[in-house]
């Protein structure tokens, strides 16, 4: 007698797995009275990101004084920021507007894959930009030779391409899990850990693989950045004049600010102990590194960089 019951239970579980063809993103549905306020705020932020980073791309392409490796990387970084934010924000705006968070398996997997690709590329590109500043300040005489156009293109291409097999592989690994029972994701986009939580059975191996890849694409670039800036600061302190030190530091201060904002919030989100994690806090921190930091980047680079400020002053009258 127990065997038919067990068989029917397994069949029901299997039908649950096969029937589940979509997830539901809860987003900010817990604050229904503020939905249209959130929609307006996030739409405004998205427009600022597109406009701000678009202007940075434009001035680094057309202004003759910004035709050097530092601004070549900055233009590519701004383009990456637009791609990175577009992965999550338009979908989130649609969900707020329609009050429905239904997302198909394929759409969720696609969003996660592109989010991982752009996030991994951002970590690598920030490390490349730190190396560029290291060469410029520590080996200024060799800078034009070391950071020639061919090397710059290869470094940017490497940042985009090198992580693709890992990030696509991680997406396939996450979506190869069996999902049964609840299909609600308490997040505003398809992120790795919230999806793994919905998996049936023991998912500790999957979580371990997430942390291993996080270390590779987060800690390795971060250590390269720390090493580069350690040598940069050491070289700056050896400069005899205060004016020379200030000028050398000003060329990398904006980049350093962006690094602290991006790596700081991402580290708290992904490397926080599981016992201390709150889903509300996780969503709030995710907002910082997915939306607020990309919005602040154009302001940081334009306000703290004299060359960009001068180029903007020349461009804005033409646009207006």
Q: Domain limits of the chain? A: 12-315
CATH topology of domain 12-315: Rhopdopsin 7-helix transmembrane proteins (1.20.1070)
- Per-residue pLDDT of 171-202, as tens digits, reads 998 888 888 777 888 888 998 888 888 888 77
Residue 278: pLDDT over 80? no
Whether the Cβ atoms of residue 203 and residue 237 lie closer than 8 Å to each other: no
Is 50 exceeded by the pLDDT of residue 9?
A: no
CA distance 207 to 194: 11
pLDDT band at 304 (very low <50, low <70, confident <90, very high): low
Cα distance between residue 256 and residue 275, in whole Å: 31
296-318: average pLDDT: 77
Mean pLDDT over 23-27 rounds to 87
pLDDT at 82: 94
Residue 16 — pLDDT band, cuts 50, 70, 90? very low
Q: Across-strand partners of 22? A: 104
Q: Is the pLDDT of residue 154 over 90?
A: yes
Q: Where are the beta strands (DSSP E) in 212-316?
A: none
Rounded to 10 deg, the angle between the 242-271 and 293-303 helix axes is: 180
Backbone angles phi, psi at 104, to 5 degrees: -70, 160
Burial class (CB in 10 A: 0-12, 13-18, 19+), 272: middle
Q: Is the pLDDT of residue 87 over 50?
A: yes
pTM, entire model? 0.85
DSSP code of residue 27 = T
């Amino acid at each position: 007698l127990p065997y038919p019951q067990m068989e029917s239970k397994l069949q029901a579980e299997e039908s649950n797995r096969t029937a589940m063809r979509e997830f539901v993103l809860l987003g900010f549905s817990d604050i229904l009275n503020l939905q249209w306020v959130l929609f307006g705020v996030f739409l405004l932020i998205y427009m600022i990101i597109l406009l701000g980073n678009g202007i940075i791309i434009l001035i680094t392409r057309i202004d003759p004084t910004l035709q050097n490796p530092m601004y070549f990387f900055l233009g590519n970084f701004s383009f990456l920021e637009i791609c990175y934010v577009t992965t999550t924000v338009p979908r989130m705006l649609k969900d707020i507007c329609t009050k429905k968070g239904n997302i198909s398996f394929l759409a969720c997997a696609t969003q996660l894959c592109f989010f991982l690709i752009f996030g991994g590329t951002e970590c690598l590109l920030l490390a490349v930009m730190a190396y560029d500043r290291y060469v410029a300040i520590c080996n200024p005489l060799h800078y034009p030779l070391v950071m020639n156009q061919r090397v710059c293109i290869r470094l940017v291409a490497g940042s985009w391409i090198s992580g693709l097999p890992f990030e696509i592989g991680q997406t396939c690994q996450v979506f190869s899990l069996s999902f049964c029972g609840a299909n609600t994701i308490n997040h505003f986009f398809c992120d790795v850990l919230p999806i793994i939580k919905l998996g049936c059975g023991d998912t500790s191996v999957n979580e371990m693989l997430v942390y291993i890849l996080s270390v590779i694409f987060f800690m390795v670039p971060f250590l390269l950045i720390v090493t580069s800036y350690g040598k940069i600061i050491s070289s700056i302190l050896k400069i005899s004049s205060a004016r020379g030190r200030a000028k050398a530091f000003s060329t990398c201060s904006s980049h350093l600010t962006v690094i602290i904002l991006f790596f700081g919030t991402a580290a708290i989100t992904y490397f926080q102990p599981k016992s201390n994690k709150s889903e509300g806090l996780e969503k709030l921190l995710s907002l910082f590194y997915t939306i607020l930091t990309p919005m602040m980047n154009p302001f940081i680079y334009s306000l703290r960089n004299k060359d960009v400020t001068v180029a903007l002053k020349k461009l804005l009258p033409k646009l207006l």
